[in-house]
Structure 1
């Protein structure tokens, strides 16, 4: 397949074509986007070990997760308008270099606070990949093709959360937890090399926006006022927030509440990532039968069913782990439908401001993760019920936004 090209309109706004994208191009974008899942998931099996090393409770070290989400949320707000002004490739150089350096700083963290600070820096660098990947797809593809591209990218990038916890567990068998961050630093360097040699700029100079700080704020305001962007964005971010609730709470549920080993936890965690890949594949296969909005609604229905099952199991004295995993599978794997379709709908009409729009959506998504991670510290029930209630809250709100999206967007 050939990489899709951008066709300029009569008014100078880049109009994406409906040509097919190349597999190699999607693999590169997926690699850049996978920095987030790798950085989030790879050290999850090590949280109890790190807590022992620092002499603090596991939840205290787990707070490095919402700290990472904070960095992801803030960083994307910077890279979005920056990429609309100077192009997609230069921010990749800076962000990936920062990610690699910050990963090294994590290796030398002496306590939980220095780790949290280094994780924020790591996120500020690593989030550049997801912003540029979304914007590059919008630069080159139309609505239907971009929905397929996002599905293809999600299929590939879900390999990261499948292998990341297992890889982290394997590292712990032979080395200490610091080696995990050394591996992440190496991944950052590999991404930087790939960008230099293989990533081609997707935003032509004549289509770049001349933005100062005041104009950036105005641009953010105009994007958020656009209901054709806002409602799909909310639908995707809120239903996707369930994933971050799962990430923040899964270690406490599976390892502390159910007593699973690091390796067993890694395998079960990866099973839900396989589910995202499976549903993303199905989403792509049925694109000719159901519209983008219809598939988004289907995904939110699957997710809310899983969240309700989780709440029921969480209310039981000691629910069977099989039912818990089924609820998690539906609530998490349904993102294979909601994620790419919400993204395609939100980004469809963004034109030259695609980088900034991508940043808004990504920042809102990780802000949901930040809220979920913080709220888990204050909820008073079991780890399972706490996680289940938050997932139901996010998915329910996202489902409401889904049904407010205008049908003519599809």
Structure 2
């Protein structure tokens, strides 16, 4: 693909549409976080128990993406969007009528299975049109735009809770899903032509999954991106317990604090784009991993202290979370660079593994026995260590390839 073709395919409106589809995930995850203590009171359980609806959502995201990836490689990118977004709207309304935490967990899984279609198709559509360098730029642009969602989502959720019960949050999510569905119908153009579609049956899909996962040009950056993203999911799962239960932040204050960290992702995504002329994709990936390591280490030290100041916890959270602005776009661009027509399936594997890491983080947090802050920092540090190891492996592979 020529540079001219890449430039023509890359427009702000196109990126904003893809970002809107992808933002369903952050909105669905973050908007109801301020309501967790209120929901815990209604269901007569702990905040951490209600927070288990987060890893349940991650499970739905992991499962759903495995479906939409090969499906989109077979029938195109637009048709699966209709299916997934319709399911998302219906499941969001179902969440309004649940009577206990277990029925909410089940409804959230279904909601995630529907909503995850956006992120799969967005990644695949970018790969359909752009080369690796342009893809890294596009992914960074998309993260900047979609970064607005986690900034405003908790504050919006807190505002809704001032006037309505927590069920209203899911009504708003259903409306957002409906808006996405209408935007797809009127504005999304199919990016995978018929001649490039793969004729896959179930057996071929399974073999394709194995083939892609064995591809080292995909596997190592995919794992780096997934475990790096797992740091964010650890933060999301624990932030309400740490900031609201332990440090006494109000719902509105929590929304501001959460938005600040989401702004950090946007800030570093912007910086990532500006540094593209000076540093390679690999160098920027390493920068993000180092920032996350510093942040997770600060949080571990804070968790080990008898009384840790809130400002120190904020700094650790900011660095650990905002580092994704470097790791996310560059890991994704590297992983998708060689996938061609199977980009939908590759996107599904990457997305599924990423949210599987989120599910794993949620499970580990439930088994650790210390404070919420210390538990979060331990899991984050484990994920960052794996991220850095995979980046090292990827760097060695590239060095060997260039020398051969």
Q: TM-score, normalised by structure 2?
A: 0.97
1:19 aligns with 7
Distance 1:220 1:376 in 2: 30
* Contact kept? 1:16, 1:139, Cα under 8 Å: no
Q: 301, 304, 319: which is aligned to 1:315? A: 304
- TM-superposed CA distance for 1:17, in Å, is 4.2
1:278 aligns with 267
Say which SS state the counterpart of residue 381 (structure 1) adopts.
coil
Q: 71, 79, 90: which is aligned to 1:82? A: 71
2:153 aligns with 164
Distance 1:109 1:65 in 2: 16
- TM-superposed CA distance for 1:60, in Å, is 1.2
Distance 2:367 2:207 in 1: 36
1:101-150 CA distance string (max 9 Å, x none): 00000001111111111100000000000000000000000010000000
- TM-superposed CA distance for 1:18, in Å, is 2.8
1:165-188 CA distance string (max 9 Å, x none): 000000000000000000000000
Distance 1:34 1:127 in 2: 10
1:388 aligns with 377
Distance 2:292 2:63 in 1: 27
1:190 aligns with 179
Determine whether 1:125 maps to 2:114.
yes
1:289 aligns with 278
- TM-superposed CA distance for 1:16, in Å, is 11
Q: 319, 332, 343: which is aligned to 1:330? A: 319
Please report the RMSD computed on the Cα atoms of aligned residues, expressed in angstroms.
Answer: 1.3
* Contact kept? 1:16, 1:138, Cα under 8 Å: no
- TM-superposed CA distance for 1:395, in Å, is 0.9
Determine whether 1:202 maps to 2:212.
no
Q: 396, 400, 408: which is aligned to 2:389? A: 400
Aligned positions of 1:51-70 closer than 5 A: 51-70=40-59
Distance 1:46 1:318 in 2: 26
* Contact kept? 1:99, 1:124, Cα under 8 Å: yes
Runs of 4+ in 1 over 4 A off after TM superposition: none
Say which SS state the counterpart of residue 200 (structure 1) adopts.
coil
- TM-superposed CA distance for 1:352, in Å, is 0.4
* Contact kept? 1:17, 1:142, Cα under 8 Å: no
1:10 aligns with none
Distance 1:298 1:403 in 2: 12
1:342-371 CA distance string (max 9 Å, x none): 000000000000000000000000000001
Say which SS state the counterpart of residue 349 (structure 1) adopts.
coil
Determine whether 1:355 maps to 2:344.
yes
Aligned residues: 398
Distance 2:67 2:152 in 1: 30
Over 3 Å counting, the alpha-carbon distance change for 1:227 and 1:16 in structure 2 is farther
Q: TM-score, normalised by structure 1?
A: 0.95
Structure with greater helix percent: 2
Distance 1:16 1:34 in 2: 29
**What residue ranges of structure 2 are gaps of 5+ in the alignment?**
none
Distance 2:76 2:293 in 1: 39
Say which SS state the counterpart of residue 404 (structure 1) adopts.
helix
Q: 335, 342, 355: which is aligned to 1:366? A: 355
Over 3 Å counting, the alpha-carbon distance change for 1:17 and 1:402 in structure 2 is farther
Q: 200, 203, 222: which is aligned to 1:211? A: 200
2:31 aligns with 42
* Contact kept? 1:16, 1:141, Cα under 8 Å: no
